[in-house]
Amino acid sequence: MDTVLIIDFGSQYTKLIARAVRELGVYAEIVPPEISPEEIQRRAPKGVILSGGPASVYAPDAPRIDKRIYELKIPILGICYGMQLIAHDLGGQVLRSDKREYGPSTLQIVQTDTLFDGLNSCEEVWMSHGDEIKTLPKDFVCLARTANVAHAAMRSRDGLFYGIQFHPEVAHTPKGKEILKNFLFKVCHIQRLWHPKDHVQEIIEKLKEELSGARHVLIGVSGGVDSSTAAVLVHRAIGERLIPIFIDTGLLRLGEAERTRAIFEKLGLRLRVVDASARFFAQLRGVTDPEEKRKRIGAEFIKVFEEEAQKLAREVGGIDVLVQGTIYSDVIESAGARGADRIKSHHNVGGLPERVQFRIIEPLRNFFKDEVRQIGLSLGIPEEIIWEQPFPGPGLAVRILGEVTPERVKVLQRVDAIVREEIHKAGLARAIWQYFAVLLPVRSVGVLGDGRAYGHVVAVRAVESRDGMTADWFPIPYGVLEKISSRITNEIEGVTRVVYDITSKPPATIEWE
Ligand code: XMP
Average pLDDT, the chain: 93
CA of 314 to the centre of ligand 1 (A): 35
Nearest atom in ligand 1 to the alpha carbon of residue 393 is: 13
Q: Is the CB of residue 468 below 6 angstroms from any atom belonging to ligand 1? A: yes
Residue with the smallest CA separation from ligand 1 atom 3 is 509
In this predicted structure, the answer to whether residue 147 has a pLDDT above a threshold of 80 is: yes
Domain co-membership, 182 together with 259: no
CB-CB contact of 246 with 274 (8 Å): yes
Query: Residue range 54-72: average pLDDT?
Result: 95
Active site residue 169: yes
Instruction: Kindly give the number of the ligand 1 atom that is closest to the alpha carbon of 511.
Output: 2
> Of 123, 132, 169, 362, which is the active-site residue?
169
CA dihedral (223, 226, 228, 234) in degrees, to 10, reads -150
Find out whether the beta carbon of 319 lies less than 6 Å from any atom of ligand 1.
Answer: no
Average pLDDT over residues 490-506: 96
Tell me the mean pLDDT in the region 423-443: 97
Asked if the structure places residue 509 within a domain, the reply is no
Ligand 1: nearest atom to the Cα of 505 = 5
Residue 511 placed within a domain: no
Does any domain span residue 391?
A: no
Q: How far is the CA of 297 from the centre of ligand 1 (A)?
A: 14
The residues, ordered by sequence, that sit 6+ positions from 74 with a Cβ below 8 Å of its Cβ are 40, 45, 46, 47, 48, 160
Q: Which of 80, 188, 235, 371 is catalytic?
A: 80
Domain presence at residue 512: no
80 given a catalytic annotation: yes
Domain ranges, residue 362: 196-386
Is the CB of residue 392 below 6 angstroms from any atom belonging to ligand 1?
yes
Decide whether any atom of ligand 1 lies within 6 Å of the 224 Cβ.
no
Within 10 A of 76 (CB to CB), how many other CB atoms are there?
26
Residue 349 confidence (pLDDT) above 60:
no
Residue 352: its pLDDT value, please? 58
Catalytic-role residue among 167, 216, 235, 347: 167
Q: 425 in helix, strand or coil?
A: helix
> Are 249 and 292 in a shared domain?
yes
Predicted pLDDT of residue 355:
56
How much distance in Å is there from the Cα of 465 to the middle of ligand 1? 12
Q: Is 122 a catalytic residue?
A: no
Structural domain ending residue among the three candidates 159, 187, 215: 187
The verdict on the CB of residue 350 being under 6 Å from ligand 1 is no
Res 341 pLDDT > 70:
no
The whole-number pLDDT of residue 92 equals 97
Q: Cα separation of 507 and 43, whole Å?
A: 43
- Ligand 1 pocket, mutate which of 511, 512, 513 (most atoms under 8 A from CB): 511
Check if 509 has its Cβ closer than 6 Å to any atom of ligand 1: yes
**435 and 370 housed in the same domain:** no
Write down the pLDDT at residue 334.
57
- Cβ of residue 511 lying under 6 Å from some atom of ligand 1: yes
* Per-residue pLDDT, 343: 31
Same domain? 427 vs 348: no
Phi and psi of 313, rounded to 5°?
Answer: -60, -40
Distance in angstroms (rounded) separating the CA atoms of residues 305 and 279: 12
User: What CATH number has the domain bearing residue 13?
Assistant: 3.40.50.880
| 513 falls within a domain | no
- Single pTM value for the model: 0.83
Do the domain assignments include residue 510?
no
Which stretches of 167-258 are assigned E, i.e. beta strand?
217-220, 242-248
Q: Are residues 242 and 373 located together in one domain of the fold?
A: yes
| HEC string for 325-379 | CCCHHHHHHHHCCCCCCCCCCCCCCCCHHHHCCCEEECCCCCCCHHHHHHHHHHC
For residue 346, what pLDDT is reported?
40
User: How many structural domains compose the chain?
Assistant: 3
What is the percent of the chain with per-residue pLDDT over 70, rounded to a whole number?
A: 95
| Angle, CA 369 vertex, CA 358 and CA 9 arms, to 5° | 85
Over residues 351-357, mean pLDDT: 58
The total of other beta-carbon atoms located within 10 Å of residue 239's CB is: 10
* Residue 223 resides in a domain: yes
Dump pLDDT digits (tens) for 181-221.
999 999 999 998 888 888 899 999 999 999 999 999 999 99
Least confident of 17-31, 442-456, 478-492: 442-456
* Per-residue pLDDT at 97: 80
Query: Does residue 395 form part of some domain?
Result: no
Predicted pLDDT of residue 1: 82
Note whether 327 and 225 are within 8 A (CB): no
